[in-house]
């Protein structure tokens, strides 16, 4: 049985940032069908395509350098696949690059994430002060619904700064590499920016960095 693993980097933006992760999976499944690429399927009564996203993107957040892995049931040429996907991808989905994985190569494991959001001019001075206050602390405990113990937000923020109009921050992945210990919207709330998304601004995940 042929099983060719492929790692794909892509952008999800525009109207596509407003669809759920489940809908994104369906978009990819349709893209593979349109491209005439046969996917490897799981076994059992309800087989599913062997397609994985190391970290699902939150609803409403643009992803500028996302990663996914898929297993094909046929041998493929990377350049040909890339051209076919780019020609058929819907608006808002851009295929950045595609690599065939070697046999035995480990699955993608996330190291950290980078985020940005635009901050309006009238709030930038307060944001700078809030960043300075947050980063000067050894701990900053927050409550999360469904979690018994408070979460230390400060320990989950590696870098944060305001560069001109853009707030930029970096969050390490969780212990499993599949989740973020601190959520990007929790960072916004800590900086008194939790209302930005209701005012027409939106978060972008600019990079998903893989562990070496």
DSSP at 196:
G
pLDDT in tens, 184-204: 999 999 999 999 999 999 999
Give the pLDDT score at 41.
86
Same domain for 160 and 186: yes
64, 49 in Cβ contact below 8 A? no
How many alpha carbons lie under 13 Å from residue 183 in its C-beta half-sphere?
14
Quote the pTM value.
0.91
8, 69 in Cβ contact below 8 A? yes
Last residue of a domain, one of 54, 71, 100: 100
- Distance separating alpha carbons of residues 142 and 172, to the nearest angstrom: 17
End-to-end CA distance of the chain: 29
pLDDT in tens, 111-164: 999 999 999 999 999 999 999 999 999 999 999 888 888 889 999 999 999 999
- Distance separating alpha carbons of residues 106 and 7, to the nearest angstrom: 11
pLDDT in tens, 7-26: 999 999 999 999 999 999 99
- Distance separating alpha carbons of residues 65 and 95, to the nearest angstrom: 9
- Domain membership of residue 105 (yes or no) is no
Rama region for 114: left / alpha / beta (φ>0; ψ in -120 to 50; rest): beta
Last residue of a domain, one of 49, 66, 100: 100
Residue in 52, 49, 64 with CA at minimum distance from that of residue 9 = 64
Same domain for 62 and 127: no
Last residue of a domain, one of 60, 81, 100: 100
Same domain for 137 and 86: no
Which CATH number is 54's domain given?
3.30.70.580
Same domain for 23 and 58: yes
12, 62 in Cβ contact below 8 A? yes
- Domain membership of residue 77 (yes or no) is yes
Give the pLDDT score at 43.
81
Same domain for 115 and 51: no
- Tokens for 145? 């619904």
pLDDT in tens, 83-112: 999 999 999 999 999 999 988 888 999 999
- Domain membership of residue 35 (yes or no) is yes
Q: From residue 136, give the alpha-carbon distance in Å to each of 28, 32, 55, 130, 155.
A: 43, 48, 29, 10, 12
The boundaries of the domain holding residue 46 are 4-100
User: How many domains are contained in the chain?
Assistant: 2
Alpha-helical regions (H) of the chain: 21-34, 78-88, 124-136, 184-190
- Distance separating alpha carbons of residues 193 and 189, to the nearest angstrom: 5
């Amino acid at each position: 049985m042929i099983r060719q693993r492929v790692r794909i980097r892509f952008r999800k933006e525009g109207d596509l940032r407003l669809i759920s992760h489940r809908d994104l999976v369906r978009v990819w499944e349709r893209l593979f069908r349109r491209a005439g690429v046969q996917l490897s399927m799981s076994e059992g009564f309800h087989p599913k395509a062997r397609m994985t996203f190391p970290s699902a993107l939150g609803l409403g957040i643009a992803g500028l350098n996302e990663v996914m892995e898929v297993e094909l049931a046929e041998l493929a040429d990377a350049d040909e696949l890339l051209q076919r996907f780019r020609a058929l991808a819907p608006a808002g989905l851009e295929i950045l690059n595609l690599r065939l994985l070697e046999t035995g190569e480990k699955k993608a494991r996330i190291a950290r994430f980078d985020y940005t959001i635009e901050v309006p001019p009238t709030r930038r001075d307060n944001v700078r002060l809030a960043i300075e206050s947050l980063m000067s602390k050894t701990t900053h405990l927050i409550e999360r619904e469904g979690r018994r113990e408070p979460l230390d937000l400060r320990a989950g923020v590696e870098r944060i700064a305001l560069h001109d109009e853009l707030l930029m921050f970096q969050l390490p992945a969780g212990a499993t590499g599949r989740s973020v210990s601190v959520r990007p919207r929790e960072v916004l709330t800590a900086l008194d920016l939790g209302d930005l998304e209701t005012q027409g601004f939106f978060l972008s995940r600019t990079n998903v960095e893989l562990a070496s």
